[in-house]
Amino acid sequence: MSSLIPLPGSRNSFHMDDSSRPDVHPTPMFNNDTKLPLQQRRQFLDLEKNMDSNSHFEITVDQLGELHDPKSLRKLHELGGYRHLVSDLNTDSNNGLPVHIPDFEERESHYGVNSLPQKMPKSFLRLCFEAMKDKTLIILSVAAIVSLALGLYETFGQPTEYDSEGKAEPKVQWVEGVAIIVAIAIVVLVGAANDFNKERQFVKLNAKKEDRQIIVYRSGEKHFVSINDLLVGDLIYVETGDIVPADSILVQGMCECDESSLTGETDTIKKVAAKLAEDEFVNSLHQDETLAKDEQFDIGLSKKVLDPMLISGSKLLSGQGKAIVTAVGVNSMHGKIMVSLSHEPEVTPLQARLDNLADGISKYGIMIAVLLFFVLFFKFCADLTGRYHHIQASEKGSKFMNILITSITIVVVAIPEGLPLAVTLALAFATTRMTKDGNLVRVLKSCETMGGATAVCSDKTGTLTENRMKVVKGSLGDLKFDDTADATSTSHERSVAVIDKLDKELINSIVTNILLNSTAFENRQDEQEAATIEILKKKSERAWWKKICNKTPAGKAITTASNTLIESTLSRMNSHIPTNLGDVEPFVGSKTECALLLLAQSKFQAIDRPLEVIRNEAKQSIVQVIPFESSRKWGGLVLKTDKGYRFYIKGASELVFSRCSYHRSSNGSISPISNNVQSEINDYITELADDALRTLSLAHRDFKGLTSWPPKDIQSNQDPSLADVDKLFGEPVLLTETINAGSSPTSPKAPIVPNIVISNDIEGLVLDCLVGIQDPLRAGVKDAIIQCQKAGVRVRMVTGDNILTARAISKNCGILTPDVLHNQYSSMEGPQFRKLSQEERFKIVPELCVLARSSPDDKRILVDTLRQLGEVVAVTGDGTNDAPALKLADVGFSMGIAGTEVAREASDIILMTDDFTSIVNAIKWGRTVSTSVRKFVQFQLTVNVTAVVLTFVSSVADADNGSVLTAVQLLWVNLIMDTLAALALATDKPDDDVNLVCN
């Protein structure tokens, strides 16, 4: 076993000491100030950063930030290249930083630490104070204080009154004020407790995420270091499956990254070493001097520019390498997005309407109270010279106070005391029921805000689509299939039905090509993680609140609901440990190859044992492997068979098909490709491309009768034991219209067969299948969007993909409807959108349906523009790049399973099942809340207006200026009857026919 020794120059790092490994050596303790508590240390570093402006580091944080935001090889070149950068950072591209870092404090002070400021949860008292800011509660509080003061005066400052039987009446006038205070306390405590529970739950679940350990090189030795102790200049080691811990530059190795959570791009991004990328960049500048001034000649803008930049938060799909860290913490891409999430919550639409109602009620209540006071006061003044002439002064004062109390009671009665409680109960009930529907409401008031939503801005990748490439269309042999969500609209069958009709030889050829001609591999769950899952489940079962809940039937129902939705899903999304093995990606590697393997597994049922076992069994038969390269756009391998050798190939459809001279039918027969067949297949490839599908052709060629590989005429000059790749691939097949022997040249029925013209007399390939790969729509998305449109909610797609892909997906899911398809403003690209003036945006945005190639800032600008136009905007997203817009929106929806921690932190509601259709349920419940509150307001205002009129009229008509209803009776009507009515109306369930009508 390895012994872990604290690594010098870090807080929680460990050095691996294993005598069995020659590349790892023990390291002595480093005695410095690193033993200070983390909080003290950060404060010390902040002070030092402010005081020390003479850092010996020449390169600044801003200059390093320009390398990744956006990714730019041009900026690296302007800094003098990666070698100069490594030198400026006082590090080494082979050995990393020294173990005893001499400039440790200064490096942290200058470049920062790889951690983000902790957001402290609000205390219960703070939440109570914020709840008291509600305008209705403020008015109620003032009325309660006045009512209590007058009640105490009447109780202790007035003589005892007697009824007609001579019995003393109880002095309970103080009950009025106390009753109002109790109502206020209930509202405040219920609301604050709900918010406090949600906030604590979320903070606790985020805290479950364990501190990741990463591998760094210090003085050429490998060390395990906490992700929080990573420094700028560190040399880190990354491999397949890793999440990049900080912005860095790849200096050794090669890999492929998935940056979809940050950029929205579904395509795999190939990464190469900085030296190779820089050399290619410089050579291009030398060959064409105009490129030096061309800003478009950079990463992501030109295919000729290679990419060595690793972005924090991206995932390695394949490969491995070493990288130099250039930005950490708040200076990294991940950190910048987290910092941008600071946005103060605003007043919700329902709050605004209730505030206006409270203002109106208080104004009219005060006006009526003043009017009643003056009317009664004038009557009182008139009676002073009449029937009150002989009474004592104290009694006159008592009569006057009764007039004042009656007038103030008018104000108290006019204000709907039960309204805040009704709103709180409605929100709490809706929130609980939404949890069962898969919506975890983090911000209580976002529930009712969603009821007034008029626009939804949705990310494409991972939200509308599955963020998992799949084979959705194609032809197996000569039979076409369609597995898209709206396949019912086509005449093609599902792939499973087509496979049942295929010849076994054709199935064997396709499956062999997919399984063996691939570098992707199975994503097997580690036994330790599986054990951790069981531990979490057992701990959850022993939770104290479950033991209490399980004692009652209602508690058991709550426990069951929370088990299935809250605990299981949130433990999965926060600890990154799946609750079951089916939640993990089945394969790791190129997304294209993973899609093919998924086809073989789920449709062909071909992976009945571990993929590694299948490949090991065939290993002896493989004589040559030709790895896929983006430059040639295909990959293949050669297998030894009983009849000789077979060459399997898969690659870009049009390229591979151009080398095919035969095609296999579903019954297993092989036929020459005629002009008609060639035209038909090319048209089908174009049709798939128009639907934004990535097309692949799978083919093979038999070399029968050979006893050794390769054939002499295609031997490689460098290695005679291998075939020359270009010769093996061959030249495009040229078809000429040749008449079969025995047929008349003028015969209209003379069949056309190909005259194959290829180099070295090598026969062409046999086409086995053609497939279209796409990130498919989530199930139910199209229906959900149609429901949103019926409800008066406009759905817009915002994605980082190219505009052709975005338009194709939006047509499939119903965002781009036929009536807006040809509108020039219905779809637009981010670079064009961000150049628009504010006036132009106000004109175009109402018609905009699709925003492609968008940056996070473009999405934020779109949301801000919609809000300025008076829309209530909901934003959905799963990636880190969606966070700023999620925070700015009126309601932010994040994905609970596929969503990043940043996205969930920025959101108001978490879709725990990652189901876009849950948004429809959120709209239903939101509108139910609004409807319930509207019903309650109508009910209570009717009661209150009746009570006010009755009090006013009876007081004016009564000779003693007394109301027919006492203040206590009026308050009991308000608090008891209205509160029970609130409880009944607040628990209404949504009705599809009512609540999906635009309010």
DSSP letter, residue 479: E
Q: Which residues contact 94 (CB under 8 A, 6 or more apart)?
A: 220, 235
Phi, psi angle pair for 884, to nearest 5°: -60, -40
Phi, psi angle pair for 325, to nearest 5°: -75, 130
- Please report, for residues 206, 327, 498, 655, the alpha-carbon distance to residue 681 in angstroms, rounded to integers and kept in the order given: 52, 50, 18, 13
Per DSSP, the three-state class of 363 is helix
Rounded Cα gap, residues 474 and 467, in angstroms: 20
Q: Please work out, in degrees rounded to the nearest 5, the angle formed at the alpha carbon of residue 835 by the alpha carbons of 829 and 837.
A: 120
Tokens describing residue 223? 């060390």
350 near 930, Cβ under 8 Å? yes
Pairing of strands 765-774, 660-664: parallel
Tokens describing residue 813? 């899911």
Residue type, 903: A
Q: In 219-314, which ranges are E strands?
A: 221-226, 235-239, 247-258, 269-271, 309-310
Element (H, E) at 549: helix 544-549
Rounded Cα gap, residues 689 and 709, in angstroms: 37
DSSP string, 718-761: S-TTSB-HHHHH-PPPPP--EEPTTS-TT-TTPPEE-----GGG
Q: Using only C-alpha atoms, what is the Rg of the chain?
A: 37
- Please report, for residues 156, 381, 679, the alpha-carbon distance to residue 756 in angstroms, rounded to integers and kept in the order given: 114, 119, 16
CA dihedral (27, 32, 36, 41) in degrees, to 10, reads -110
**In terms of C-beta density within 10 A (0-12 exposed, 13-18 middle, 19 or more buried), how is residue 534 classed?**
exposed
CA dihedral (538, 542, 543, 544) in degrees, to 10, reads 180
Q: Which long-range contacts (CB under 8 A, 24 or more apart) does 84-90 make?
A: 85/59, 85/249, 85/324, 85/326, 86/251, 86/324, 88/57, 88/58, 88/59, 89/57, 89/59, 89/232, 89/233, 89/324, 89/326, 90/57, 90/233
Q: Which residues contact 682 (CB under 8 A, 6 or more apart)?
A: 654, 657
Tokens describing residue 821? 């398809």
Phi, psi angle pair for 740, to nearest 5°: -65, 150
Angle between helices 611-618 and 504-516 (to 10 degrees): 100
584 near 605, Cβ under 8 Å? no
Residue type, 440: L
Rounded Cα gap, residues 762 and 645, in angstroms: 14
* In the block, residue with structure tokens 């999405």: 859
Pairing of strands 247-258, 235-239: unpaired
Rounded Cα gap, residues 156 and 159, in angstroms: 8
**Residues with active-site annotation:** 459
Number of Cβ within 10 Å of residue 838's Cβ equals 10
Rounded Cα gap, residues 881 and 885, in angstroms: 9
> What is the separation, in whole angstroms, between the first and last Cα of the chain?
66
Give the residue ranges of DSSP H helices in 95-208.
104-111, 124-131, 135-157, 175-207
Say how far residue 170 (Cα) sits from the centre of its chain. Answer: 62
905 near 888, Cβ under 8 Å? no
| Residue positions counted in the chain | 999
Per DSSP, the three-state class of 95 is coil
